[in-house]
Structure 1
Amino acid sequence: MFTKKNNTHQIFHDKRQLKQLFNDRIYFGPFSGLRIPDNLYDVLSLAEIMGLYESCLHNTFSDLLNRNIKNIVIVGGNNGYYTAGLSYIFSPERYYVYEMDHKMHSLIESWYLKNKINLPTILGEANDKNFVNFDADIDLLLIDCEGAEKILLDPEKFPWQKRSDIILELHPFYVDNLISLISKRFSSTHEIQLIYDDFNEDNKINKILKGLDMNIVYPQHPTHRWIMEDGKKVFTSGSFMYLKRK
């Protein structure tokens, strides 16, 4: 997500400059003020450190603040950016995070050592067997599972989803007719909104970096979104769906 430098040490050094300027905190957006663990600086992108990562979802999080979110499930915990961020703004009573890469679990936990927020229950891979029931209704489901949404998003198989607000990153490059499929499954219980990458996000990041007199040029979309298909690198765009329970 950076222009080419002499080496990776220079990239790491640039992010360390932001660490000093922001005093270990996310700078902007709904997670502004959340403290960043020291071991995350070589993992997080500039956009995440600055709080502008997937800024197209910021209005959705604002809407959810009015939805009495108490219990949350995340599928795809990754480095913990969203896991910690949602804990920070909602303070959930029950919180479950699925992440199949167990090396990521310690990264997720590190946010909670740095911030005064409650640690979620961290689980492994989400599948159709362990995704059936929870001990309370789930108010918010955030899901980014690289095409497995076809399996995991099914309100007939998982009836609790009829009563959940859902944000999912769509992966139509993995699953054909995915928008139609998910829309039909949830049309009777949810209002459906499609959200796409904000291509002004890069300009906002570069404007802030310039204002801070940082000698970093953040590359434009879509260079950081791609998949491997038929043995070659295929660029993709970011698309999301907000399923708002009626």
Structure 2
Amino acid sequence: MNKLTQHIVPYRFWPSTLIRRWIERRSGGEVISGPFLGMKYVKTSVCSEYEPKLLGTYELELNTVFKQLISHEFQTIVDVGAAEGYYAVGLARQYTDCHVIAFEANEHGRELLEQMALLNGVRDRMRIRGFCDAKSLAGALLDSGRTLVIMDVEGGEKLLLDPVMVPELLDAHIIVEIHDFVDSELGKLILHRFKDSHHIQDISIKERSLNDYPFEIPALAEMLFRNALLNAISEMRHHNSRWFYMMPRDSRG
């Protein structure tokens, strides 16, 4: 929709608004598909796109990793950059015997995270904390047992994923979004730091299509709202986005 049309057509009738409301109705307030199917969700998201989380297609590139991790009996999950809790709460639902430590610097994000944890009955196993630095990460990992670390901190991984400062990382499973567009040497640096201690899987971003929707789109809706449908499932990521899944070399799982 061009800018002139936006001034004429009320917001509630914009294609993007109609598609969002359609997805919200389809979801019924729960994640529709993916590893966190059935998770109850709050009505907004923080620092990321909302609709892909309801659809269950958020970071779908990682779905195979989470399938691999099903067999692991984690005692602690540490989510750094937890936002409203897609991973922190989703994984707490999956790993019912683990404790989750969720770091989120944004105050509104922490409020939503609290709501999400209560909605899904996992608040008693979750500790919600604010900004994470190397010292607080090391504290979270101390005596944590079998641990999964998830990290999305917009380039902050350069300071946090340092096994000299945080030696407990050497024994942890780690899923981290690498922000090479913030620092072109970031990926190389993380690979160098963990090449001896971890098997590292480099996972590239995948362009979304209408085939990624977890349900069939009516032909008329596809014809009238194709662009809005694509925008709704898109996560608006930088084209250089990627993730590392790092598994400790001595892991038996």
* TM-score relative to the length of structure 2: 0.81
Counterpart AA for 1:170 = I
Indicate which of 103, 128, 131 corresponds to 2:137: 131
Say whether 1:156 aligns with 2:161.
no
Larger radius of gyration: 2
Question: 1:105 offset after TM fit, Å?
Answer: 0.7
Report if the CA contact (8 A) 1:167-1:240 is conserved: yes
Distance (whole Å) between structure 1 residues aligned to residue 104 and residue 177 of structure 2: 15
Counterpart AA for 1:55 = L
Distance (whole Å) between structure 2 residues aligned to residue 211 and residue 245 of structure 1: 45
Question: 1:7 offset after TM fit, Å?
Answer: 5.3
Question: 1:23 offset after TM fit, Å?
Answer: 2.6
Check 1:106–1:48 CA distance in 2 against 1; reply closer, same or farther (3 A cut): same
Indicate which of 237, 241, 253 corresponds to 1:225: 237
Deviations 1:111-154 (A, max 9, x none): 12222224521111111232223342351000001111111001
Report if the CA contact (8 A) 1:12-1:41 is conserved: no
Unaligned runs of 5+ in 1: 227-235
Unaligned runs of 5+ in 2: none
State the partner residue of 1:116.
Answer: 121
Check 1:115–1:7 CA distance in 2 against 1; reply closer, same or farther (3 A cut): farther
Check 1:194–1:121 CA distance in 2 against 1; reply closer, same or farther (3 A cut): same
Aligned CA RMSD, in angstroms, stands at 2.7
Deviations 1:39-78 (A, max 9, x none): 3379852211110111000000011111222201011011
Report if the CA contact (8 A) 1:87-1:118 is conserved: no
Deviation larger for 89-98 or 205-214: 205-214
Check 1:87–1:61 CA distance in 2 against 1; reply closer, same or farther (3 A cut): same
Indicate which of 30, 36, 42 corresponds to 2:41: 36
Check 1:186–1:60 CA distance in 2 against 1; reply closer, same or farther (3 A cut): same
* TM-score relative to the length of structure 1: 0.83
Percent sequence identity is 24
Question: 1:179 offset after TM fit, Å?
Answer: 1.8
3-state DSSP class of the match of 2:187? helix
3-state DSSP class of the match of 1:172? coil
Distance (whole Å) between structure 1 residues aligned to residue 187 and residue 110 of structure 2: 31
Distance (whole Å) between structure 2 residues aligned to residue 194 and residue 170 of structure 1: 10
State the partner residue of 2:247.
Answer: 244
Say whether 1:197 aligns with 2:205.
yes
